[in-house]
Amino acid sequence: MGSTGEENPAAPPPKLPIPGKRNILITSALPYVNNVPHLGNIIGSVLSADVFARFCRLRGYNAIYICGTDEYGTATETKAMEDNCSPKEICDKYHVIHKDVYKWFDISFDNFGRTSTPQQTEACQAIFKKLLDNNWLIENTMQQPYCDTCKRFLADRLVEGTCPFEGCNYESARGDQCENCGKLLNATDLKDPKCKVCRNAPQIRDTNHLFLDLPALRNKLEEYINNMSVAGSWSQNAIQATHAWLKEGLKVRCITRDLKWGVPVPLERFKEKVFYVWFDAPIGYVSITSCYTNEWEQWWKNPENVELYQFMGKDNVPFHTVMFPSTLLGTGENWTLMKTISVTEYLNYESGKFSKSKGIGVFGNDAKDTNIPVEVWRYYLLTNRPEVSDTLFTWADLQAKSNNELLNNLGNFINRVLSFIAKPPGQGYGSIVPDANGAESHQLTKTLAEKVGKYVEQYLEAMEKVKLKQGLKTAMSISSEGNAYLQESQFWKLYKEDQPSCSIVMRTSVGLVHLLACLLEPFMPSFSVEVNKQLNLQPEKHISLCDEKGDVDRARRPWEIIPAGHKIGSPNPLFKELKDDEVEFFRSKFAGSQADRIIRAEAEAAKTAEQLKKTKISVDGGGKKQKSAKSTAGAKSKTTAEPEISIARLDIRVGKITKVQKHPDADALYVEEIDVGEVQPRTVVSGLVKHIPLEEMQERMVCVLCNLKPVAMRGIKSHAMVLCASTSDNTKVELVEPPKSAKIGERVAFPGFEGEPDDVLNPKKKVWETVQVDLHTNTELVACYKDIPFTTSAGICTVSSIQSGSIR
Ligand SMILES: Nc1ncnc2c1ncn2[C@@H]1O[C@H](COP(=O)(O)OP(=O)(O)OP(=O)(O)O)[C@@H](O)[C@H]1O
């Protein structure tokens, strides 16, 4: 395989294994591309692997961390079909979203790639050919639903029907699994099956597929599992899940699919098929490494010198302990097989499960929007990492941990130390770290140093075994010890009564501050950067945890960590209190599904707009006719006649789309900037993605209804509406177009219906809804209100092909 050639020339050269060093290759389960990752996904894979990668780098190991989006397969094809775009477009969009979320979470990948690359095709096909040459593949005929209308075989999840299990009989069971009873299914078992796309009943047809002969590979596989699970100290949950598979008896596993979006099977008679996503996804680790360096084989075909650590949630285990190793073993090549697997159980959300498909829980982008700093998020997720059993995310727990552990313990310790040192001479040390003569014989300090030494040992032991939660807890204990030490020493009294002892306490404490910044760096890198800034230490001076450099020994003599005479920077509080009302706000904001939240947000926005309007009316006391009618005298206004409902009350203007893009959170919507003759263009959201290609929207002249009440659509406020004609069945939609030479911003006229438009149409009066009934195109393709054409200074407005359509 070659390199992508896309490497950034300014980036450091890719790391390669170094003889004699510990070379550690770290991967986290490739997140599936079709959605935004939630906090469960983040702690289950990328964040956990990131902590370990950062720890390895601190230890001076030669480590790289590889991940990327898993892009092929049915789920992407289905999502693309739903969104009326290509699978590639779905992948491009979500790859960027994933990348941004992980960037915000400070995930330190050496390469975050993707699986839809030529390198992936090359890697998969090469491995496949080896398996074929070595006779580990079997061809079998399967029966699969085929849709005559859609002219294709249907993936299991594209078939819906009644669950065949007695007592369930759920009518919308998916071909791969029944959501109601949770049982795994074969699409052919469903009663009354239907194609999910066209709702026709599929037929069952024969189709040939290739299978990996796992039973024949069993001996090789078991030898690997037995040796490596001990050598790599696999976690109990990984061992259990693997043995459950072995116990069920290894069966041949199908590695091909009748799909288009995937790596093509390089055999003439299979040329219409692609590899199954679980065959190709783990090979993604290899191909993404090959995009990082041409010398990828030094990492992947070098088991003597490289240790492979893989991180994932529990549902991914058998694919990494059985399927992927069997695939690699079957090639007969000298692959670096997984040494250690770190598996999480599930993080659940408040009272239920995180769900991508149902949109339940807090998602990567939501975390950012809360303004709770990333270090708090990382800390909370890691203290709550589901290492041995499922754990629960609750807002109350996040608040308690943030306030009690980060603010009151860690933040408090650091701030007390640095603020005291920063005080002017006479009250403190004028920011200069004092000396610590006699620290070895200062009893309180000696006792503290012994405890800290032990904690550091325990921290290292836990982290080496990937017991991340334990590592974090141990590091935090050092902060508690620090607080107790400060308290016991009564340093504020010592300052007045025993200056040498006070200096010892302060220099030891500032050493602990630096040690904490180091030990906690894998968990909260942004916190460590800030502490080092407040300590006025350059990042390169950061203490490492290398045995060779003697750093671990130094941790046992904390007064030696920061030299006397060093000038610290300005101390600032590191954490903020999370208040009850904030937490309550988040809890209700993120309750229910994402869809519920959008509805709630829109209702909220409408309410606020209504209130604002009322406020404005009473403040400026009139001017325009609508306002004055209401504001002149409360009771009187009730009797004022509502102006007659006609097109004259609508403010339809000629506009030009100056910019258009897809809505970041809604696949059916565009977000446009439209010039309607005002100082600023208006932002308008339109549901036209399925009907008009993006490039055809660009620079188009349009008719824009400008006095609808602004409304938020999936988080973006739309300040007008683009008028379109549609056929009665809504299958075709076209823009209502003014003549090219019409003036941007001019009001579209309807001769005979003159008059000033309403400032803003009151939704309660249903003006728009009433007028809309009479908006249509005629047989000449002219846009009309009743039978009066939409008229501009340059002529009438038309549509391109829809006759007698309705306009809205
Ligand atoms: N609630 C959770 N807690 C911890 N880890 C999780 C949770 N949900 C998923 N994971 C893990 O997150 C990683 C990435 O998941 P992935 O993107 O494949 O999607 P998924 O949530 O498993 O859903 P799907 O496979 O339906 O797309 C996997 O290793 C998975 O095991």
Q: Enumerate the domain spans of the chain.
A: 23-133+219-240+276-344, 408-567, 647-807
Closest C-alpha to ligand 1, atom 2: 40
- CATH code for 647-807? 2.40.50.140
Closest C-alpha to ligand 1, atom 14: 31
Ligand 1: distance of its center to the CA of 316 in Å? 8
Closest C-alpha to ligand 1, atom 9: 41
Asked if pLDDT for residue 609 goes beyond 70, the answer is no
166 CB neighbour count, 10 Å cutoff: 6
Residue 470: band (very low, low, confident or very high) from pLDDT cuts 50, 70, 90: very high
Asked if pLDDT for residue 594 goes beyond 90, the answer is no
Torsion of CA 69, 70, 74, 80, to 10 degrees: 20
Ligand 1: distance of its center to the CA of 353 in Å? 11
Ligand 1: distance of its center to the CA of 641 in Å? 60
The model carries a pTM of: 0.74
Ligand 1: distance of its center to the CA of 313 in Å? 6
Superfamily of domain 23-133+219-240+276-344 in CATH is: HUPs (3.40.50.620)
Given this model, what pLDDT does residue 167 score?
A: 87
Asked if pLDDT for residue 5 goes beyond 50, the answer is no
Helical H segments across 498-548, by residue range: 499-519, 525-535
Given this model, what pLDDT does residue 615 score?
A: 55
Choose the residue to mutate in 45, 277, 363 for probing ligand 1, maximizing ligand atoms within 8 Å of C-beta. Answer: 45
Residue 617: band (very low, low, confident or very high) from pLDDT cuts 50, 70, 90: very low
| Residue predicted with more confidence, 177 or 383 | 383
In this prediction, residues 201-205 reach a mean pLDDT of 94
The finding on whether 32 has its CB within 6 A of some atom of ligand 1 is yes
In this prediction, residues 63-72 reach a mean pLDDT of 98
- Nearest CA to 568 among 414, 716, 463, 734? 414
Choose the residue to mutate in 41, 90, 356, 387 for probing ligand 1, maximizing ligand atoms within 8 Å of C-beta. Answer: 41
Given this model, what pLDDT does residue 715 score?
A: 83
Lowest mean pLDDT: which of 257-261, 402-406, 430-434?
A: 257-261
Asked if pLDDT for residue 177 goes beyond 60, the answer is yes
Torsion of CA 533, 538, 541, 543, to 10 degrees: 20
What ligand 1 atom has the least distance to the C-alpha of 44? Answer: 5
- Nearest CA to 167 among 152, 154, 178, 156? 178
Ligand 1: distance of its center to the CA of 42 in Å? 8
Name the strand (E) or helix (H) holding 553: helix 551-554
Residue 29: band (very low, low, confident or very high) from pLDDT cuts 50, 70, 90: very high
DSSP state of 73: S
Asked if pLDDT for residue 624 goes beyond 80, the answer is no
Ligand 1: distance of its center to the CA of 95 in Å? 16
What ligand 1 atom has the least distance to the C-alpha of 42? Answer: 12
C-alpha span between 515 and 504 (Å, rounded)? 16
In this prediction, residues 570-577 reach a mean pLDDT of 96
Lowest mean pLDDT: which of 3-17, 386-400, 467-481?
A: 3-17
Contact in structure between 342 and 235 (CB atoms under 8 Å): yes
pLDDT by residue (tens digit) across 531-540?
A: 999 999 987 6
Ligand 1: distance of its center to the CA of 41 in Å? 5
- CATH code for 408-567? 1.10.730.10
The finding on whether 313 has its CB within 6 A of some atom of ligand 1 is yes
In this prediction, residues 252-259 reach a mean pLDDT of 93
The finding on whether 344 has its CB within 6 A of some atom of ligand 1 is yes
In this prediction, residues 100-109 reach a mean pLDDT of 98
What ligand 1 atom has the least distance to the C-alpha of 347? Answer: 3
C-alpha span between 376 and 326 (Å, rounded)? 40
The finding on whether 356 has its CB within 6 A of some atom of ligand 1 is yes
In this prediction, residues 717-727 reach a mean pLDDT of 93
Given this model, what pLDDT does residue 608 score?
A: 65
Residue 620: band (very low, low, confident or very high) from pLDDT cuts 50, 70, 90: very low
pLDDT by residue (tens digit) across 268-320?
A: 999 999 999 989 999 999 999 999 999 999 999 999 999 999 999 999 999 99
The finding on whether 364 has its CB within 6 A of some atom of ligand 1 is no
103 CB neighbour count, 10 Å cutoff: 11
Residue 672, classed as helix, strand or coil, is: strand
Given this model, what pLDDT does residue 666 score?
A: 86
Ligand 1: distance of its center to the CA of 294 in Å? 30
Ligand 1: distance of its center to the CA of 44 in Å? 7
The finding on whether 347 has its CB within 6 A of some atom of ligand 1 is yes
pLDDT by residue (tens digit) across 331-366?
A: 999 999 999 999 999 999 986 888 877 778 899 989
Residue 664: band (very low, low, confident or very high) from pLDDT cuts 50, 70, 90: confident
Residue 656: band (very low, low, confident or very high) from pLDDT cuts 50, 70, 90: very high
Lowest mean pLDDT: which of 391-395, 458-462, 621-625?
A: 621-625
The finding on whether 207 has its CB within 6 A of some atom of ligand 1 is no
What ligand 1 atom has the least distance to the C-alpha of 315? Answer: 31
pLDDT by residue (tens digit) across 483-531?
A: 999 999 999 999 999 999 999 999 999 999 999 999 999 999 999 999 9
In this prediction, residues 593-616 reach a mean pLDDT of 67
Residue 625: band (very low, low, confident or very high) from pLDDT cuts 50, 70, 90: very low
C-alpha span between 436 and 557 (Å, rounded)? 11
Interface confidence (ipTM) of the complex: 0.95
Ligand 1: distance of its center to the CA of 197 in Å? 26
The finding on whether 343 has its CB within 6 A of some atom of ligand 1 is no
The finding on whether 363 has its CB within 6 A of some atom of ligand 1 is no
Given this model, what pLDDT does residue 636 score?
A: 34
C-alpha span between 253 and 255 (Å, rounded)? 6
C-alpha span between 759 and 646 (Å, rounded)? 15
Asked if pLDDT for residue 447 goes beyond 60, the answer is yes
Residue 614: band (very low, low, confident or very high) from pLDDT cuts 50, 70, 90: low
Given this model, what pLDDT does residue 317 score?
A: 94
pLDDT more than 70, % of the chain: 92
The finding on whether 41 has its CB within 6 A of some atom of ligand 1 is yes
C-alpha span between 484 and 488 (Å, rounded)? 6
Locate 407 and state its tokens.
Answer: 């603010």
Given this model, what pLDDT does residue 541 score?
A: 65
- Amino acid 197 reads V
Residue 247: band (very low, low, confident or very high) from pLDDT cuts 50, 70, 90: confident
Q: What's the chain's average pLDDT?
A: 90
Ligand 1: distance of its center to the CA of 187 in Å? 23
Domains 408-567 and 647-807 belong to one CATH topology: no
Residues ≥6 apart with Cβ < 8 Å to 251: 214, 215
Asked if pLDDT for residue 467 goes beyond 60, the answer is yes
211: left (phi over 0), alpha (psi -120 to 50) or beta: beta
In this prediction, residues 165-186 reach a mean pLDDT of 84
Asked if pLDDT for residue 3 goes beyond 50, the answer is no
